[in-house]
Amino acid sequence: MDILKKIEMFREEEEKLRWEGTFGDYLELLKEKPWVAQSAHSRVYNMIRDAGIEEEKGTRKYNFFSHQLFGLEEALEKLVEEYFHPAAKRLDVRKRILLLMGPVSGGKSTLVTMLKRGLEQYSLTDRGSIFAIKGCPMHEDPLHLIPHHLRQDFFDEYGIRIEGNLSPLNMMRLEQEYGGRIEDVLVERIFFSEDKRVGIGTFSPSDPKSQDIADLTGSIDFSTIAEFGSESDPRAYRFDGELNKANRGMMEFQEMLKCDEKFLWHLLSLTQEGNFKAGRFALISADELIVAHTNETEYRSFISNKKNEALHSRIIVMPIPYNLKVSQEERIYEKMIHESDVADVHIAPHTLRVAAMFTILTRLKEPKKGDVDLVKKMRLYDGQLVEGFNSADVNEMKKEHPDEGMSGIDPRYVINRISSTIIRKEVPSINALDVLKSLKDGLDQHPSITQEQRERYLNYISIARKEYDNIAKKEVQKAFVYSYEESAKTLMDNYLDNVEAYCNKAKLRDPLTGEEINPDEKLMRSIEEQIGISENAKKAFREEILIRISAFARKGKRFDYNSHDRLREAIQKKLFADLKDVVKITTSTKTPDEQQLKKINDVVARLIDEHGYNSTSANELLRYVGSLLNR
């Protein structure tokens, strides 16, 4: 279907959603769908919840954020459960400005943009539908028409609380256009749109000398004063400030802490009382979520200023740190590259992962426990198994440094260096070594890195390089194993037969001679030693394997190559160790014979077909691993 047809279909769908009726009709609608009268905070919370929630290792994962924000599950859970959820329940939290605080390029702006775009889409759904007094520039809640003395009766009948007063403009329209007949006031369904300034506003501070408070609260239309005769006539006022237009939805207050004080005072009554002062009118009611974002330095400066004390208690600060998981950082780079013009350049496997390792190392704080180094910590944070540690140890590490993730290298720097690599190399393929070199070269040009940090970061580049060396060797060795899975399965079956005989104090039968033989201790130890199982620990490890096989059997499952992570790792390492000499000879020979050449071509083909390389990156990998094995 072409794009014009899709646009036409969207327009037709939106037209079908439109609704208009009297206030009496709206009350009938409320009986069927009481949720349409929800508050702005409640609408945001329900939007996030309706997208789906998944439990993952004790942390709630919100599907609403999962396609754009990576590795921030804990921060987002805190944001939703400690701010949006209680605010949706009309608790006092909703009377606070939400201030997202975190380092540059940490996802704050992306989060706010997602909320704005999400509300636009949600307002098109049945659960997110919003209704307003027709013709009102502030899209006012129709329930404001209910007089105060009847609001308790309304709650008893409908179960809906009403907050806020009718605006001066609608109060005048009620008398003049409808003769005070509330039931006849026209109500319409509205759809949020930042571009059309409906329910979503954005305020950005500029020069304090030239910026006008009217940008927030609207202003008098002097051309109409002659017609209406007074500045206090609401028809002579333009209700077009960001606070007016963001009513019923949300307003993003960019760089709030850089604002002139007079702009911030308007937020005091809006957050606490749900209203603000504009022109020569009584207080104007507004129901909106105000989100601001800042960095830690600006926030510290803000709270140290005694003049701002009144605002301190009206702000809820939500830290949005950098992601600390290598696999999630890799997804951030993939997303940023996909959105760029270099998406067609071949990036060799593990390139982004190695760059992510360096980045995460710069963000981690040194562990206080002596038996953990930064690399182990990096792996544990990423959900990898590290012998001798469990999830309780990971939680303990996270508590050691509450500010972890608030500093370090940002994703934009890494993407800038990857882009630089692509432009400089002028080939359709880059690998991990290219990117590590570019990251290293770029440290000298980074404006905010001290000499001490530079030396530490250079060390992290060396660590990331060592990690890549191990990955590269495994990748090539794996590709050299003909029918790798079958070889691994055969080796594992052989090992399991020997373990079973060992644990049951039984003998094995030789498949060729048929005679009974003892379990092959040499074979078992050659595999167990690959993952550091000591002589003293071998019996416990073998018994654990046997227990695992029994547990699988009881559940009717088959124990296979992927059923035990550590055993799989041991089998892989054993296969690789046996192949090391073959790999070394084949990759380092400058004039390979026909058999060696065939093997190299087979390996290149396997790297391309099964591991995601192209011919350039596969050959570069082989040459590099050959040099590593010959050192």
Structure confidence at residue 367 as a pLDDT band (50, 70, 90): confident
Q: Under a CB-based contact definition with an 8 Å cutoff, are residues 495 and 561 in contact?
A: no
Q: Would the pLDDT of 167 be above 80?
A: yes
- Where does the pLDDT of residue 124 fall: very low under 50, low under 70, confident under 90, or very high at 90 and above? very high
Count the neighbouring beta carbons within 10 Å of the beta carbon of residue 413: 21
- Spatial distance between the Cα atoms of 365 and 382, rounded to a whole number of angstroms: 15
How many C-beta atoms surround the C-beta of residue 330 within 10 A?
23
Give the Cα separation of 544 and 540 in Å (integer): 6
Which pLDDT tens digit goes with each residue over 238-290? 888 888 899 999 999 887 787 777 777 777 778 878 888 777 787 888 899 99
Secondary structure of 374-426 in HEC code, one letter for each residue: HHHHHHHHCCCCCCCCCHHHHHHHHHHCCCCCCCCCCHHHHHHHHHHHHHHHC
Q: Are strands 315-319 and 130-133 parallel, antiparallel or unpaired?
A: unpaired
Q: What is the pLDDT of residue 150?
A: 95
**Residue 400 near residue 367 (C-beta atoms within 8 A):** yes
- Those residues with Cβ within 8 angstroms of residue 279's Cβ, 6 or more apart along the chain or in another chain: 217, 218, 219, 220, 231, 232, 237
Residue 1: its pLDDT value, please? Answer: 65
Longest distance between any two alpha carbons in the chain, whole Å: 115
Asked whether the beta carbons of 393 and 419 are under 8 A apart, the reply is no
Q: Place 543 in a pLDDT band, splitting at 50, 70 and 90.
A: very high
Any idea what DSSP says for residue 86? H
Handedness of CA 24, 174, 290, 122 (dihedral sign): positive
CA angle 73/353/473 to nearest 5° reads 140
Q: Residue 193: is it exposed, middle or buried by C-beta count within 10 angstroms (0-12/13-18/19+)?
A: middle
CB 151 within 8 A of CB 211: no
Distance (Å, rounded) from C-alpha 366 to C-alpha 401? 9
What rounded mean pLDDT belongs to the chain? Answer: 87
Instruction: Please count the other Cβ atoms lying within 10 Å of the Cβ belonging to residue 409.
Output: 26
* 3 state SS of 216: helix
Is the per-residue pLDDT at 449 higher than 80? yes
Q: What is the mean pLDDT of residues 587-605?
A: 78
Cα first-last separation, the chain: 58
pLDDT at 598: 81
Q: Tokens for 34?
A: 């009481």
- What's the rounded Cα separation, in Å, for the pair 27 and 405? 50
- E-only strand ranges, 320-393: 346-347
**What is the rounded distance in angstroms from the CA atom of residue 465 to the CA atom of residue 358?**
9
Distance of CA 533 to the CA centre of its chain: 38
pLDDT digits (tens, 9 = 90+) for 548-566: 999 888 988 888 877 888 8
* pLDDT for position 155: 94
Q: What angle do CA 620, 354, 68 make, to 5 degrees?
A: 120
The whole-number pLDDT of residue 438 equals 92
In degrees rounded to 5, what are phi and psi of residue 429? Answer: -155, 135
Per-residue confidence band for 151, with pLDDT thresholds at 50, 70 and 90: very high
The DSSP H or E segment spanning 318 is: strand 315-319
CA 114 from chain centre, in angstroms, equals 11
Residue from 476, 473, 460 nearest 326 by CA: 460
Give the pLDDT band (50/70/90) at residue 208. low
Q: How far apart are CA 204 and CA 199, in angstroms?
A: 17
Q: What is the distance between the alpha carbons of residues 92 and 595, in angstroms, rounded to a whole number?
A: 76
Calpha distance 132→26 (Å, rounded): 10
Alpha-carbon separation of residue 322 from 106, 110, 360, 362 (angstroms): 5, 13, 9, 11
How crowded is the C-beta side of 44, counted as CA atoms within 13 Å? Answer: 34
Residue 479, pLDDT above cutoff 90: no
* Reported confidence tier of residue 210, pLDDT bands at 50, 70, 90: low
Q: How confident is the model at residue 391 (pLDDT cuts 50, 70, 90)?
A: confident
